[in-house]
Amino acid sequence: MVSHFQVKPLYQNNRMPGWHISFYMNRVYYEADYLKDGQIVWKTAPSNQIDETQLIDYIHELMLFHVYE
């Protein structure tokens, strides 16, 4: 389960889309950039024990809640 999900603007000009995200999953800290087209650029690669496809879907849902709503 994802916890401590945080979203920060990637650029100083908040009008430009792009966000830096960070969160914990299974006690491991992850960082990534979430680009305007929904692409996720990992700063910390997900562990092999995690289903990356399911994690990406969950991040998209969280971004809808935190940024677009």
Nearest to 7 by CA among 54, 52, 61: 61
Q: Number of structural domains, the chain? A: 1
Instruction: Copy the structure tokens of residue 24.
Output: 């914990």
Strand order in the sheet with 28-34: 2-9, 19-25, 28-34, 40-42
| 4 close to 23: Cβ distance less than 8 angstroms | yes
- Residue 14 is predicted with a pLDDT of 67
Residue of 7, 12, 42 lying closest to 28 (CA atoms): 42
pLDDT of the residue at 45 = 86
Q: How far is CA 29 from the centre of its chain?
A: 12
Q: What range does the domain containing 53 cover?
A: 2-68
For the stretch 5-64, pLDDT in tens is 999 988 887 677 889 999 999 889 999 999 989 999 999 888 888 888 999 999 999 998
